[in-house]
């Protein structure tokens, strides 16, 4: 499955916090090996770039090998993008024939950028500049359905010793954006994974964390709606609780009680992870919420996302939670920090104690990327699962 519109909701953050005049970005691409029936597309983290969909934002052909388009964004908008011929199976390669990292820039003034592309993927799997591999045993469950949602695949990672110890049962970590957590080849955009398999394998063998089954839930083209407090988001939570978890508990040797069940995710996946912990505290006792945008308000687009108020307005008995929350300090991370601060304050106001009920970590040098989350993941795992 392809990388889906990972950053779309953060466009709203930039529009609110960077209300300066619009700046123009002109993108020129000199592209060879593009026949007369093909097009060149830009795919990136803004709606204007197609929201990481590879066939939504076509550039205009000016000459045989020159493609161009001009876009407008608020001053300070962080842009990430790649180029394709309409599919991730036909994305642009670098001069060595490798899949390159994202192009990235922060738009502060009218800017013209020019790129030359001589090589394209030609279907199949291209060699990429990512590191990592699948460590351990994984199993796949394809095309899982639920009413109101797009079908999705599930990947399950089994801890060392699972097959050798048939009488043992294991705690379970559910993870959103499942195609980005274990296998770098299935992250179609950055080709970088969270390396949860390597992290847990080391932590388990070093006896820092109990053996854990990981369930990766692939996202879909409706990712933003599924991972935020919308009707679709609440349907997604019902899918996880009412269909996926019973299936996993039946298929694998799990410890199904709430004490041994956790949820994790980043970005919008961090929001839905906290929502699952909060709404289904009888099912989940722990959550890892990396770089979550808990609050977004954009009056110009009539878009409002606020999960802080759910915590502030809650008047029931205190929930038994253990939440790891973190953020970086570069680009998008700066924009979502106010909402993270407000969530921490809301938790404090309800009597939750830092270090006991939740932990907040700030890495001022970190970007909004899988590699940054992978770097912080071992400490997050040790916090929620650490052996006392």
CB atoms within 10 A of CB 232: 18
Give the pLDDT confidence score for residue 135 in this predicted structure.
80
Q: Which residue has the tokens 């964390």?
A: 209
Q: How many CB atoms are located within 10 Å of the residue 6 CB?
A: 26
Task: With CA atoms as reference, report the closest residue to 195 among 1, 375, 12.
Answer: 375
pTM score of the predicted model: 0.71
Q: Is the pLDDT of residue 349 over 60?
A: yes
pLDDT one-digit tens code per residue, 373-384: 988 999 999 999
Overall CATH class of domain 137-385:
alpha beta
Write out pLDDT tens, residues 29-65: 999 888 888 899 999 878 899 877 888 999 999 988 9
Residue located via tokens 């994305």:
91
Q: 112 in helix, strand or coil?
A: strand
Given pLDDT bands bounded at 50, 70 and 90, which one contains residue 110? very high
Compute CA distances 233 → 192, 212, 223, 257, whole Å: 26, 26, 9, 23
d(C-alpha 96, C-alpha 78), whole Å:
27
Q: Quick check: 6 pLDDT over 70?
A: no
CA 310/CA 294 separation, integer angstroms: 10
Phi (first) and psi of residue 34, to 5 degrees = -120, 110
Q: Is the dihedral of CA 332, 338, 344, 347 positive or negative?
A: negative
| C-beta separation of 34 from 90 below 8 A | no
Structural contact between residues 66 and 30, judged by C-beta atoms closer than 8 angstroms: yes
| More reliable by pLDDT, 358 or 179 | 358
Looking from the CA of 283 toward its CB, the CA atoms found within 13 Å total: 22
Rounded Cα distance, 82 and 101, in Å? 8
Cα(295)–Cα(307) distance, integer angstroms: 6
| Distance in angstroms (rounded) separating the CA atoms of residues 173 and 212 | 7
The predicted-structure confidence for 270-300, as pLDDT tens digits, reads as follows: 999 999 999 999 999 999 999 998 987 654 4
DSSP string, 247-285: HHHHHS-B--SGGGEEEEEETHHHHHHHHHHHHTTTT-S
| CA nearest neighbour of 106 among 5, 27, 23, 189 | 23
- Residue 347: half-sphere exposure toward Cβ, Cα within 13 Å: 25
Residue 131's CB: how many other CB atoms inside 10 A?
11
Name 122's Cβ contacts closer than 8 Å, sequence gap at least 6.
89, 90
Rg, Å, the chain Cα set: 21
Res. 7: pLDDT tops 70: no
Q: Above 60 in pLDDT, residue 89? A: yes
For residue 140, pLDDT beyond 90: yes
Q: Is 196 helix (H, G, I), strand (E, B) or coil?
A: helix
Percent of the chain with pLDDT over 70: 87
Q: Output the six-digit token pair for 154.
A: 């599930």
Q: Provide the pLDDT for residue 45.
A: 79
Stronger pLDDT, 151 or 123, i.e. the higher one: 151
Strands (E), 32-183: 41-44, 60-61, 66-74, 77-84, 92-93, 103-107, 111-117, 119-120, 137-144, 152-158, 171-176
Which homologous superfamily does the CATH classification assign to the domain defined by 10-120? Immunoglobulins (2.60.40.10)
| Mean pLDDT (the chain, rounded) | 86
The pLDDT of 190-197, averaged and rounded, is 75
- Angle, helices 332-349 vs 10-17, to 10°: value is 90
Spell out the domain ranges in the chain.
10-120, 137-385
């Amino acid at each position: 499955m392809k990388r889906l519109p990972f950053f779309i909701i953060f466009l709203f953050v930039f529009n609110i916090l960077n209300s300066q005049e619009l700046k123009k970005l002109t993108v020129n691409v000199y592209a060879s090996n593009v026949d007369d029936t093909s097009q060149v597309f830009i795919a990136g983290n803004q709606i204007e770039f197609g929201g990481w969909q590879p066939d939504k934002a076509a550039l205009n052909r000016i000459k045989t090998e020159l493609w161009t388009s001009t876009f407008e964004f608020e001053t300070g908008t962080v842009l990430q993008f790649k180029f394709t011929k309409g599919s991730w199976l036909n994305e642009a390669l670098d001069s060595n024939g490798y899949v390159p990292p994202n192009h990235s820039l922060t738009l502060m003034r009218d800017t013209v950028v020019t790129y030359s592309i001589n090589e394209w993927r030609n279907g199949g799997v291209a060699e990429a500049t990512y590191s990592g591999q699948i460590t351990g045993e994984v199993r796949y469950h394809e095309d899982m359905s639920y009413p109101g949602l797009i079908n999705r695949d599930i990947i399950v990672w089994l801890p060392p010793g699972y097959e050798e110890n048939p009488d043992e049962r294991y705690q379970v970590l559910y993870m959103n954006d499942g195609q980005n957590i274990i296998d770098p080849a299935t992250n179609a955009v950055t080709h970088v994974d969270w390396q949860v398999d390597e992290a847990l394998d080391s932590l388990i063998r070093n006896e820092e964390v109990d053996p854990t089954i990981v369930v990766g839930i692939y996202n879909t083209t409706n990712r933003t709606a599924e991972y935020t407090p919308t009707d679709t988001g609440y349907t997604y939570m019902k899918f996880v609780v009412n269909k996926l978890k019973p299936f996993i508990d039946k298929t694998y040797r799990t410890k199904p009680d709430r004490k041994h069940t956790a949820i994790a995710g980043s970005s919008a996946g961090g929001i839905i992870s906290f929502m699952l912990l909060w709404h289904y505290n009888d099912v989940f006792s722990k959550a890892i919420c990396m770089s979550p945008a808990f609050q977004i308000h954009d009056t110009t687009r009539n878009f409002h996302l606020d999960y802080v108020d759910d915590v502030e307005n809650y008047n029931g008995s205190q929930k038994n939670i253990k939440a790891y929350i973190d953020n970086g300090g570069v680009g998008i991370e700066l924009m979502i920090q106010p909402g993270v601060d407000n969530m921490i304050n809301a938790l404090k106001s309800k009597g939750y104690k830092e270090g006991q009920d939740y932990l907040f970590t700030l890495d001022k040098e970190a970007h909004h990327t899988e590699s940054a989350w992978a770097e912080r993941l071992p400490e997050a795992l040790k916090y929620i699962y650490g052996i006392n």
